[in-house]
Amino acid sequence: MRRTSGRVAVSVVLMLLGFLVVVQLRSQAADPGLVAMSAQDLTVLVASLTTRNNQLREEIATLERQRGATAAAVQRGDTSVEQIRADLDRIRGWSGALPIAGPGVRVLIEGPIPGDAVSQLINELRNAGADGIAIGDIRDVPGIVVTGPAGELTVSGIPISGDIELIAVGQPEALSGSLTRAGGPIAQLGARFPEVPISVLPDDSVVLPATDRDLAPALGRPRL
C-alpha cells in the first residue's frame, strides 16, 4: 500500500510539473516581444536586468541588516512606537501600498510603441534609483506587466490607449540623465520608432497613487 501511495504521489507531482511547464511555454510563445528584439536590444535588456538584480541583492542585504538592528533595538527597548510607525509607512509607500509624492520626472510617449519598449523605459527608471513608478494612474508593483503590440497595449490586462505617461519619484537629474544619455533607452527607441517622440520632463513634485493590488504574500510571513 505504501508503495502504491508513493507512486500515486509521484505521478501527481509529475503531472503538475508538466502542466506548469506547458503553461510557461505557452505564455512565452504568446509574447513575441523578445523574439522581435534585435541582438543589441537584448544585450541592453540583459544588462539592465543584471544591474537590477544586483541592486535587489544589495537592498535585501540592507533590509536584513535593518531587521537585525530593529530586532536588537526592540529587545533593548530603544525603539519607539512612533519610529516604528514612520518606518512602516515609508516601507509601505515604497512597496506601493501607500501613495507617495516628491520630486521626479514625467516621461511622455507621444505615439504607439510595443510593450517591451515601455518596459525598457520602466526598467531604466528602476535602475536609476526611482523610489516609485506609475504608468498613468496605475502604480508599478510586482505583478504589473506591460504587454502587447504598438497601439494595443495592456497593463496587466487593462487596455491603455493614446499617449502614455510614465511618472517616477526620485532624483530628477539622475532619472533624466539615465534615460537621455548617449546610447541610452530613449536614443535606442528613437532609432526603432523615429516617428514617436519621447520626452522627459523633470518635476519638483509628482504624486504616485497607491496600488489596488493585494500585496500580501500568499505563503510568506514576516520574520524578526
Per-residue model confidence as pLDDT tens digits over 183-218: 999 999 999 999 999 999 999 999 999 998 887 777
- Residue 200: inside a domain: yes
What is the domain-level CATH number for residue 115? 3.30.70.1880
- Residue 190: inside a domain: yes
Q: For residues 217 and 219, what is the distance between their CA atoms, to the nearest angstrom?
A: 6
- What is the total count of domains within the chain? 1
- Residue 161: inside a domain: yes
Mean pLDDT across 85-114: 89
Q: For residues 68 and 83, what is the distance between their CA atoms, to the nearest angstrom?
A: 16
- Residue 43: inside a domain: no
pLDDT score recorded for residue 99: 94
Q: What Å distances lie between residue 63 and 91, 126, 128, 216, 220, CA to CA? A: 10, 18, 19, 18, 16
pLDDT score recorded for residue 37: 65
Which of 181, 113, 189 lies closest to 152 in space, CA to CA? 113
The 8 Å CB, 24+ separation contacts for 38-42 are: 40/188, 41/120, 41/188, 41/192
- Residue 219: inside a domain: no
For residue 199, the enclosing domain spans 100-208
pLDDT score recorded for residue 10: 47
CA angle 96, 99, 101 (to 5 degrees): 115
- Residue 110: inside a domain: yes
For residue 167, the cross-strand partners are 106, 134
- Tell me if 109 sits within 8 A of 165, measured CB to CB: yes
Mean pLDDT across 157-165: 89
Between 185-192 and 39-76, two packed helices, what is the crossing angle to 10 degrees? 150
- Residue 146: inside a domain: yes
Tell me what percent of the residues of the chain surpass a pLDDT of 70. Answer: 79
Residue 171: CB partners within 8 Å, gap ≥ 6? 103, 129
Per-residue model confidence as pLDDT tens digits over 101-146: 999 999 999 999 999 999 999 999 999 999 999 999 999 998 888 9
Residue 31 has pLDDT above 60, yes or no: no
- Which tops the pLDDT comparison, 148 or 38? 148
> In the predicted model, what is the mean pLDDT of the chain?
81
pLDDT score recorded for residue 38: 72
Residue 47 has pLDDT above 60, yes or no: yes
Which of 141, 94, 135, 95 lies closest to 115 in space, CA to CA? 135
pLDDT score recorded for residue 221: 75
Residue 7: CB partners within 8 Å, gap ≥ 6? none
